[in-house]
Chains A and B, each alone.
Chain A
Amino acid sequence: MSDLTRKTAAELAGLVASGEASAVEVARAHLERVAAVDGQVHAFLHVDEEAVLAQARAVDERRAAGERLGPLAGVPIAHKDVFTTADMPTTAGSKILEGWRPPYDATVTARLRAAGLVILGKANMDEFAMGSSTENSAFGPSRNPWDLTRVPGGSSGGSSAAVAAYEAPLATGTDTGGSIRQPAAVTGIVGVKPTYGGSSRYGVIAFASSLDTPGPFARTVLDAALLHEAFSGHDPMDSTSIDAPVPPVVEAARRADVAGLRVGVVKELAGDGYQPGVLARYREAVELLESLGAKVVEVSCPHFGYALPAYYLIAPSECSSNLARFDAMRYGLRVGDDGTRSAEEVMALTRAQGFGAEVKRRIMLGTYALSSGYYDAYYGKAQQVRTLIKRDFEAAFEQVDVLVSPTTPTTAFPIGERADDPMAMYLADLCTIPANLAGVPAISVPCGLAEPDAAGGEGGGLPVGLQVMAPVLADDRVYRVGAAVEKALEDRWGGPLLAKAPELAEAAQ
């Protein structure tokens, strides 16, 4: 049998369902790959081989008992460490939660289990999902399989790295300002932020409640759609979850055609500050859509320019409140409790040592923005901007069916390059943030490699992502367009983009 780790999730599920491969074999192949390359990639924070094999055995037993398995049963998945798992530690990439074992499963976790997916382990991430590189993880950065000196994006960078390095065919992520799409783009894979409320936040350690959206990573659009369908849909445990059927994403991914579809090119999401190599691939992708029968028009979304500043008031404000619970009283790290200090002192010491610099920066920003006397000028104003951005989307979607832009202004940057420059880091989410503020669904699909000798020379030969955005609950459209682009480009390239990635050296086992 050819290498199981190179197969798509749909193929693996087919092999398991037909009995050509057991779930245990599939799991073992991926565990071996993890053992061989994760020393370099560092996609995982936690892998428990025995637990993985036990899950796989359970799937094989269900099949042996004649049970009809779901379309992803037996497929391994890397699970972002922001989702609670009752059988594994959950840290959200933070020292303050090191070793914490939640007493309950997140809804997404529970649905993965119910669908027979085999959770390989917990994927690395920027601490509390704050960052675009995984450099903010308290447990060290993950590395981009295309170039191990570069970041795999973030905050769901462990997830993107695991999928791009063939350690797992699928991964979960959460997208608050681009934390699925940006890492997907810079590692040459597919990542989707569903409609806000389309996937449950119950058991997702909150960063910014009004923005956080769980979503899938995969190497193909169809795989992403299968995973999307497996864990999405209404959850009574999450008040903000939408009580509506999951949009027909799998059907849309299979349909993969854009004939007659009206595609809007967002005028404001290109130009200065974008890497020429990125813009070149993006323009080709737009031309490709036109050649496939889409009607392409330019659309202006005049308030998108204010999205980034609004986001950096709203998200920190919510996080300053969400992260207040980490106080050493009930769980997690506790510092300085020597019998002489008050609860308040222990709280302060614990938070000082337990949180990283970026988390503290955002807690301070948010605390300030919500303070009496500043609320109206900061949080209040940002909410008004948010309304204007929603209206930009509404106006645009009266003209077009989907909007497109580059996913991120640059290709993967070197580890360390932006670590001391938060503003530069924040710019990585320039194109992805508007969709979060409006709650609309968006996908990132690979659209080629930036030229090695592009002007500026930096970041050449690395993947570029195309972002496709659609109206609320029209998630199927982003899959439809994403799949059409994928198909046309793979025909052109003679295979997936990821095939062009350099092979990682496998460590001797």
Chain B
Amino acid sequence: MSTLALMDYDEAVSRYEPVLGVETHIELGTASKMFCGCATTFGAPPNTQVCPVCLGLPGALPVANRAAIEGIIKIGLALNCEIAEWCRFARKNYFYPDMPKNYQISQYDEPLCVDGHLDVEVDGETYRIGIERVHMEEDTGKSMHVGGATGRIQGADHSLVDYNRAGIPLVEIVTKPITGTGDKAPLVARAYATELRELVRALGVSDVRMEQGSMRCDVNVSLMPRGSSQWGTRTETKNVNSLRSVERAVRHEIERQAAVLASGGAVVQETRHFHEDSGTTTAGRSKEEAQDYRYFPEPDLVPMAPSREWVEELRASLPELPAARRRRVQREWNLSDLELRDVVNAGALDLIESTVKAGASPAAARKWWMNELSRRATEQGVELADLPVTPEQVARVQEMVDAGELNDKLARQVFEGVLAGEGDPDQVVAARGLKIVSDDGELAAIVDQAIADNPDVADKVRGGKVAAAGALVGAVMRATGGKADAARARQLILEKLGAS
């Protein structure tokens, strides 16, 4: 392979204006498939969730899943789309072994949802992303190519196909061309994918896990010289499997296309493949060999004609959407824009809100999740939400802190115990003996001992150097293994040394 010529990013965006488009596929989390009753559990043994319909056996017919149509309408509504009063499924015809019927039931010129938008924010600036269409289709099976070096079909000995995924309801969301983003283009693309994921997650219609493929993005990028209004030739990059990859893929295509254009070349209209490891793209199918999909209305299914009443019912049932929620939370928790962004980026919004619901103050809840627990999540290399601690447990720890039964240091030890699977906070406190020593009699004896052990320091305090009392408090804390109520200990020391 020839060395990839890239232009420095800053130079690229100073000379060219990127135009973006994002096509996102989202698998709906319905219990059954789009056109049959098969289960949709991820990770089941190959070809165990199949039937005559999703295997496309001769004679079998599809029947549309109402829950899936409900899911896509919710997505359409949340994206401010118009919901068609009448539309049809269409067959997209092409041969591939992972497609049991050699056509995919999709939608063509009559999508269910059209003409919406989604606002995203990058560096304090709002970008309105136009939504061209949202349509319903079925997923294909999954091919596994065995015996080659790359896992791709080239060089493989043979291929295996798992049809468990065939027929899982898939929603395709296509943006309008995104212009005017300049050097922010990669960030805008990422912000869009992030916001879309949050939105769909809030709707509860998909688990939108990019690593499991339940959300997949294709990014289209083209460049035009600054000052021009003539769009350039675009490429479509597939296999973009994380939010970070969305950003990287756009950035890479900008650098690559800029180099091609600057050297007098022409960008080839083609499908490109993103490589997670190198952050680069390579050419796939060229559009010149593009297939003619011979779309036509699916004769096995009746048209979808969602009644206006149903659509309005679904609109009324929409949960609070992420943008509105963020605005509310920012107000209620009194956060700066930056603090809010940190919370959102850490994926802590749900967790903090649940912790607040369980009784903690917003400030305390945010402190635990954003500091101690975020640190531990990073250490363990897991998402914050995947830590084995619940918002209720965090609220309970904070409750004990508020009651003076724990200080921050002890509380951290409690979390350590909870995360280590030693039980809930009360169990950890009991088992580790972490209760604070605030009993005056017990504490007084320890204070006396500390004074006796540190006569020099005690003299300094007696002499008016109140700040020196810190060393005595430290001694008390050491003596109690950190379980003393430090404020009370300090108070006692000062009383005893006549410095209060």
B127 is an interface residue with CB less than 8 A from chain A? no
Interface residues of B in 79-123 (CB under 8 A from A): 91, 93, 95, 97, 100-103
| Interchain CA distance A239-B60 in the complex, whole Å | 11
Q: Which of A201-209, A254-262, A264-272, A500-508 contacts B (4 or more CB under 8 A)?
A: A201-209
Chain A residues bordering chain B, tally (CB within 8 A): 44
B359 is an interface residue with CB less than 8 A from chain A? no
Q: Are A343 and B159 in contact (CB under 8 A)?
A: yes
Q: Which of A55-63, A143-151, A325-333 contacts B (4 or more CB under 8 A)?
A: A325-333
| Interchain CA distance A206-B301 in the complex, whole Å | 14
Q: Which chain B positions have C-beta within 8 A of A317?
A: 296
B62 is an interface residue with CB less than 8 A from chain A? yes
A371's partner among B97, B103, B292 (CB-CB below 8 A) is B292
B342 is an interface residue with CB less than 8 A from chain A? no
| Interchain CA distance A438-B100 in the complex, whole Å | 31
| Interchain CA distance A320-B101 in the complex, whole Å | 12
Q: Which chain A positions have C-beta within 8 A of B299?
A: 208-210, 240, 318
Q: Are A239 and B61 in contact (CB under 8 A)?
A: yes
Q: Which chain B positions have C-beta within 8 A of A210?
A: 299
- If A104-B52, A240-B300 touch, whether A372 touches B292 (CB-CB below 8 Å) is yes
Q: Which chain B positions have C-beta within 8 A of A208?
A: 299
A379 is an interface residue with CB less than 8 A from chain B? yes
Mark contacts of B7-20 with chain A using CB atoms, 8 A cut-off: 1 yes-contact digit, 0 otherwise: 00000000000000
| Interchain CA distance A369-B471 in the complex, whole Å | 91
Q: Which chain B positions have C-beta within 8 A of A375?
A: 294, 296
A99 is an interface residue with CB less than 8 A from chain B? no
Closest partner residue, chain A, to B91 (CB atom):
A321
A238 is an interface residue with CB less than 8 A from chain B? yes
Q: Are B58 and A370 in contact (CB under 8 A)?
A: no
| Interchain CA distance A478-B101 in the complex, whole Å | 37
Q: Are A206 and B59 in contact (CB under 8 A)?
A: yes
| Interchain CA distance A240-B300 in the complex, whole Å | 7
Interface of A is mostly: loop
Q: Which chain A positions have C-beta within 8 A of B458?
A: none
B97's partner among A209, A343, A367 (CB-CB below 8 A) is A343
B474 is an interface residue with CB less than 8 A from chain A? no
Q: Are A239 and B59 in contact (CB under 8 A)?
A: no
Q: Are B61 and A201 in contact (CB under 8 A)?
A: yes
A239's partner among B63, B93, B95, B159 (CB-CB below 8 A) is B63
Report, as a range, how many residues of chain B touch the other chain: 20 to 34
Q: Which chain B positions have C-beta within 8 A of A103?
A: 52, 57
| Interchain CA distance A84-B62 in the complex, whole Å | 16
Q: Are A321 and B296 in contact (CB under 8 A)?
A: yes
| Interchain CA distance A203-B103 in the complex, whole Å | 18
| Interchain CA distance A205-B58 in the complex, whole Å | 5
- If A370-B93, A370-B294 touch, whether A327 touches B102 (CB-CB below 8 Å) is yes
A164 is an interface residue with CB less than 8 A from chain B? no
- If A321-B294, A330-B100 touch, whether A344 touches B95 (CB-CB below 8 Å) is yes
Q: Are A239 and B103 in contact (CB under 8 A)?
A: no
Most central of A97, A204, A321, A329 by chain B CB within 10 Å: A321
| Interchain CA distance A83-B97 in the complex, whole Å | 25
B400 is an interface residue with CB less than 8 A from chain A? no
Smallest distance from the beta carbon of B299 to chain A beta carbons, Å?
4
Q: Are B61 and A237 in contact (CB under 8 A)?
A: yes
A84's partner among B56, B59, B161, B295 (CB-CB below 8 A) is B59
B64 is an interface residue with CB less than 8 A from chain A? yes
Q: Which chain A positions have C-beta within 8 A of B436?
A: none
Closest partner residue, chain B, to A202 (CB atom):
B61
B44 is an interface residue with CB less than 8 A from chain A? no
- If A325-B100, A343-B159 touch, whether A104 touches B57 (CB-CB below 8 Å) is yes
A202's partner among B59, B100, B296 (CB-CB below 8 A) is B59
Closest partner residue, chain B, to A82 (CB atom):
B59
| Interchain CA distance A83-B300 in the complex, whole Å | 17
| Interchain CA distance A359-B95 in the complex, whole Å | 18
Q: Are A238 and B61 in contact (CB under 8 A)?
A: yes
Closest partner residue, chain A, to B55 (CB atom):
A330
- If A103-B52, A239-B301, A317-B296 touch, whether A347 touches B61 (CB-CB below 8 Å) is no
Smallest distance from the beta carbon of B378 to chain A beta carbons, Å?
45
Q: Are A325 and B59 in contact (CB under 8 A)?
A: no
Smallest distance from the beta carbon of A6 to chain B beta carbons, Å?
34
| Interchain CA distance A83-B59 in the complex, whole Å | 8
Closest partner residue, chain A, to B52 (CB atom):
A104
Smallest distance from the beta carbon of B209 to chain A beta carbons, Å?
29
| Interchain CA distance A334-B220 in the complex, whole Å | 39
| Interchain CA distance A62-B155 in the complex, whole Å | 60
Q: Which chain B positions have C-beta within 8 A of A347?
A: 95
Mark contacts of A15-55 with chain B using CB atoms, 8 A cut-off: 1 yes-contact digit, 0 otherwise: 00000000000000000000000000000000000000000
Pairs of residues from A and B, 10 with the lowest C-beta to C-beta distance, nearest first: A324-B102, A209-B299, A370-B294, A210-B299, A203-B59, A205-B58, A84-B59, A325-B101, A372-B292, A329-B97
**7 A-B interface contacts by CB (under 8 A):** A90-B59, A92-B58, A238-B63, A321-B103, A324-B101, A325-B101, A326-B58
Other A-B pairs beyond A318-B296, A372-B292, 19, CB < 8 Å: A83-B59, A84-B58, A84-B59, A90-B59, A92-B58, A102-B52, A102-B58, A103-B57, A205-B59, A209-B300, A210-B299, A239-B64, A240-B299, A240-B301, A320-B93, A324-B93, A324-B103, A344-B95, A371-B292
